[in-house]
Each structure stands twice: as C-alpha cells, then as structure tokens.
C-alpha cells in the first residue's frame, strides 16, 4: 500500500498536533514496515524526532517537499491545493490528513486517491471566547470541508466523534474512534539520581500537585491555584507550560493571596525532564474546560501519579474510572479530591488502577485501527 500524509505538523510542531503526527508515523512504521509512506511537508525544518523517524525507516518513509519554484514560494497554497497533483504522480492510494484538514481539491483533482482525516477537537466551537473570530471561521471552514470530503474520519475520542456528528452532520458510520497512546518514556522507571538531579534543577518542593499544559484560559489553572487556599500549607503547585496573557491573572491571584512560595510556574522545560517531574509529584490536576482527548492524563497515569480532572468533555475517557473528576470551577471539590489522593491507601489504589487503565492505550492498537481505516476506504466499504 502507498500511503501519503500531511506532514506539516510532524515536521514543524514540537507539541500537541506535532506529537500526534509523529506518533502516528512511528506506529505505522513499527507495525506495518512493508508499506510505502510519503510524508508531504511544505518546508524543511530542524526537528530531531521527525528526522529520527525518517532515518529509522530504511527508506520506507520518504520526506516530500514542493518541487517547482512556484510551489516552493507559496508553500501554504501547495499544501492545501497543489499537493493533490503530486499525490497522483506518486501513486499514493490513501492520503491521511493528520491534523484536522485535507487539501481542498482532493476529490476533484485526485479522485482515485482515497482520503482519511484525523479530527482532534472542535474546541473553537465550544469555547469561542478563547479564539479570535477569524481563526474560528478558518478552522470551521477547513474542518467541515475535510470531514465532508474525506472517505473516512478518525476521531481521537468518543467526545470528539459526538461533536463531529452533531456539528457537521457527518454519519456516525463514517467516523472511527482511534485512541492515541503516550510516549513510552513516561512508563519507564526513573533512577533515584535522576530524580535528585531534576528536583534540584527546578527546586521542586517535597509535596506538590503538578499541572501540565499551556497556561491559558481554557486550561483553567486558576481553579487549581484557588484550591491551594483550602489545602495544607506544605502542599504546593508546580505548573509546567508556556505562559500566555492569562498567566497575568494567575500571577495576580497568587500575589494577592500570599501564595508566592507555593506556586511554581515552569516554562521552557526540556521534554526529557517532564517524565521526571511527573514522578516527583503527589497528584496530577487537569481542570481544562474542554479537550479533544487529554494525553497529559495518560502521561500522569503511566508515571504512577493519581489524577484529578475536570468533567464536561472527554477526560473520563483518558483518565478512566480510577481517577477523580470534579466540575472545573468547583474549587472546594478540587481541594477535596486532592486530599483524597494524598491518603496512602487511596493513592496506592489509584496508581494501580491508573496503570492498568493506561495499558489499554498502546501503539500497536493505534497502528492496527488506523490501518483498518485505510483498508476500509480502499475496499469501498
């Protein structure tokens, strides 16, 4: 089988959609090494993980860049319009849009090429206040068009599938839920000397809640900060993520309530330090208002950390029945859940249940279900 991918995010993004794209490429190469894979990217960038995947493919996965001078000059146009002729010339049988979109003319220019698109979320429709108007309109147009043009749609969760079916009028039969796992690095034991090194590097407290994700309105870190006021003084919060304008609200609340010594905001943390920070934490709190799936929950469960997460979207799918769930603005509920997680017997059970739940989300299962989608569209079923 000859499979093509929209590889923009795999090559150019270092978190989120980039992680998913690289995970997909790595999984398919590992479990289906005899297929042919073309990854179409508008421009070449220095991305060690992406380059490592290509280098380990033994020539089965090829990086494809725009060839003509015009295409190289108008890279974005090539990705959404011009690449379709290249797919036909390259003999691609299935094209997979890994990040919510497909070339706009894929049906008219390359009707012989079957298409699959992965949709991660439609958060911009659920929380419009978190997105500029023009971004919402562009996303809505691209996502809707991709879902309707695709021969099949992959949703990253049942929650996202429900949203696609409801918002875009797509038949449930056209949408398959394929869960992603997280990097195996998070399930690996960490040497005591490595833990000591990272603790010293970031001056980590003895007891702390960890939260991972961009510090923005949607992630709702302020609710966790407020919960600190209802928790013992020796419990701190360590938040790992990129700062945005929303961070000023967090800083203001921290200053006004004397929490400067208990709230630690870390940004620019190297990826290899993240699993160690998880391992040092007592509780993982993720009070996001809406998500497509919630990979950080799997990272925490694999790191043997109890999870407290928000209700209202898909986080129960990622966290499983062994985690605790609270309404995102229920500060007293968050504090109560954290206290439960701190009890030794409760923590031990949550860790064991969490590891068992996380073991369901394997790279092998992801690769198998994704390949089944390709076979389905090629067979016309």
pLDDT per residue over 214-244, tens digit each?
Answer: 999 999 999 999 999 999 999 999 999 999 9
188 and 333 co-located in one domain: yes
131 and 238 co-located in one domain: no
Residue 246 has pLDDT above 80, yes or no: yes
Residue 8 has pLDDT above 70, yes or no: yes
248 and 343 co-located in one domain: yes
Residue with tokens 């934490």: 281
pLDDT cut 70: percent of the chain above it: 98
Summarised one tens digit per residue, pLDDT across range 11-50 is 998 888 999 999 999 999 999 999 999 999 988 888 889 9
Summarised one tens digit per residue, pLDDT across range 252-272 is 999 999 999 999 999 999 999
Exposure string for 181-216, b = 16+ CB within 10 A, e = fewer: bbbeebbeebeeeeeeebeeebebbeebbbbbbbbb
**pLDDT score for 79:** 80
| Beta strands across the sheet bearing 207-212 | 263-266, 235-240, 207-212, 283-286, 307-310, 324-326
Can you give the CATH number for the domain in which 298 is found? Answer: 3.40.50.2000
219 and 336 co-located in one domain: yes
Q: Dihedrals φ, ψ of 340, to 5°?
A: -60, -45
31 and 164 co-located in one domain: yes
Summarised one tens digit per residue, pLDDT across range 358-372 is 999 999 999 999 999
93 and 135 co-located in one domain: yes
Say what the pTM is.
0.93
94 and 216 co-located in one domain: no
Residue 254 half-sphere exposure, CB side, CA atoms within 13 Å? 20
233 and 350 co-located in one domain: yes
**pLDDT score for 70:** 54
325 and 311 co-located in one domain: yes
173 and 277 co-located in one domain: no
| Mean pLDDT, the chain, integer | 94
23 and 70 co-located in one domain: yes
Instruction: Show the domain range for 260.
Output: 184-358
- Give the count of domains, the chain: 2
203 and 143 co-located in one domain: no
pLDDT, mean of residues 133-151: 96
Q: Do the bridges between strand 2-6 and strand 94-97 make them parallel or antiparallel, or are there none, so unpaired?
A: parallel
């Amino acid at each position: 089988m000859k499979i093509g991918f929209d590889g923009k995010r795999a090559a150019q993004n270092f978190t989120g959609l980039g992680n998913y794209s690289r995970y997909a490429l790595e999984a398919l190469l590992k479990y289906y090494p005899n297929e042919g894979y073309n990854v179409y990217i508008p421009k070449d960038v220095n991305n060690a993980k992406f380059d490592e995947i290509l280098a380990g493919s033994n020539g089965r996965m090829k990086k494809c860049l725009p060839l003509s001078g015009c295409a190289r000059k108008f890279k974005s146009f090539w990705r959404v319009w011009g690449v379709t002729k290249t797919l036909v010339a390259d003999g691609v049988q299935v094209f997979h849009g890994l990040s919510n979109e497909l070339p706009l003319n894929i049906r008219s220019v390359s009707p012989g090429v079957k298409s699959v698109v992965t949709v991660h979320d439609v958060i911009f429709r659920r929380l419009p206040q978190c997105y500029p108007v023009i971004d919402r309109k562009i996303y809505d147009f691209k996502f809707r068009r991709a879902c309707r043009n695709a021969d099949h749609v992959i949703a990253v969760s049942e929650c996202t599938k429900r949203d696609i079916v409801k918002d875009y009028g797509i038949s449930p039969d056209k949408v398959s839920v394929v869960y992603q796992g997280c990097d195996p690095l998070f399930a690996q034991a960490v040497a005591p000397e490595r833990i000591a090194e990272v603790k010293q590097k970031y001056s980590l407290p003895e007891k702390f809640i960890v939260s991972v994700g961009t510090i923005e309105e949607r992630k709702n870190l302020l609710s966790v900060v407020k919960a600190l006021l209802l928790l013992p003084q020796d419990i701190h919060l360590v938040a790992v993520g990129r700062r945005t304008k929303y961070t000023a609200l967090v800083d203001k609340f921290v200053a006004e309530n004397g929490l400067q010594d208990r709230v630690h905001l870390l940004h620019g943390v190297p990826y290899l330090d993240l699993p160690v920070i998880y391992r040092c934490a007592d509780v993982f709190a993720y009070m996001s208002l809406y998500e497509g799936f919630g990979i950080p929950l799997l990272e925490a469960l694999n790191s043997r950390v109890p999870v407290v997460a928000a209700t209202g979207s898909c986080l129960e799918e990622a966290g499983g029945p062994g985690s605790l769930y609270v309404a995102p603005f229920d500060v007293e509920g968050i504090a109560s859940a954290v206290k439960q997680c701190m009890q030794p017997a409760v923590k031990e059970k949550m860790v064991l249940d969490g590891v068992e739940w996380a073991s369901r989300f394997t790279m092998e299962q992801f690769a198998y279900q994704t390949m089944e989608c390709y076979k389905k569209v090629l067979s016309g079923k």
